[in-house]
Amino acid sequence: MQFVVDPRSPVSPGDQLADQVRFAVAAGRLVVGERLPSVRDLARLVRLNPNTVSRAWRELELTSVLESRRGSGMYVAVGAESVAHTFRTQALAERLGRAVGDALVAGLAPDEVQKLVHDACDAWHAAEHSAAESQTHAAQPAGMDSREKNRHGIED
């Protein structure tokens, strides 16, 4: 898993790390029993004070997302998926609620807000599809002649 901390975010760096872990567990990108980076390694990677990472790991341990194994590190805890799903739903509902509220206060009608949300989802899916497609094309061998393409089952 790749961790990213945005220094311009109004969310504290420790909360950004904790949220990333919870969202990754909820999405299945981190699974029960998977080991997380050590405090020192992650602090060096994301250029944070080790105390910040330690506080994030401690918060995740107190909320049963992570478990500490003495001398071995931090691991995704049994039952973390349920905790992470609940957190993700509540956190994103809160964020989306604020954005919808802002749109309504700005004078948009509810159907206009729904269209904006729908369009944003479509744009996100299109970008994901485009990224996946470009990775597929990048993986295809370049400079093949017709015989090589036929041998590999690639059509012109």
Q: What is the pTM of this model?
A: 0.75
| CATH number for 67 | 1.10.10.10
For residue 128, being part of any structural domain is answered with: yes
Q: Which residue has the higher pLDDT, 132 or 49?
A: 49
Domain count, the chain: 2
Beta-bridge partner residues of 67: 75
Q: Which residue has the higher pLDDT, 94 or 141?
A: 94
pLDDT beyond 50 at 153 = no
Phi/psi of residue 122, nearest 5 degrees: -60, -45
| Overall residue count recorded for the chain in this entry | 156
Burial class (CB in 10 A: 0-12, 13-18, 19+), 138: exposed
- Do residue 70 and residue 115 come from a single domain? no
Domain boundaries, position 115: 108-139
Grade residue 138 by pLDDT with cuts at 50, 70 and 90.
low
Residue ending a domain, choose from 33, 65, 81: 81
CA 76, CA 78: separation in Å to the nearest integer? 7
- The overall average pLDDT reported for the chain is 88
For residue 29, being part of any structural domain is answered with: yes
Q: Which residue has the higher pLDDT, 27 or 148?
A: 27
- Do residue 73 and residue 118 come from a single domain? no
Q: What is the pLDDT of residue 150?
A: 47
**Max alpha carbon distance in the chain (Å)?**
63
Q: What is the pLDDT of residue 136?
A: 63
Q: What is the pLDDT of residue 73?
A: 93
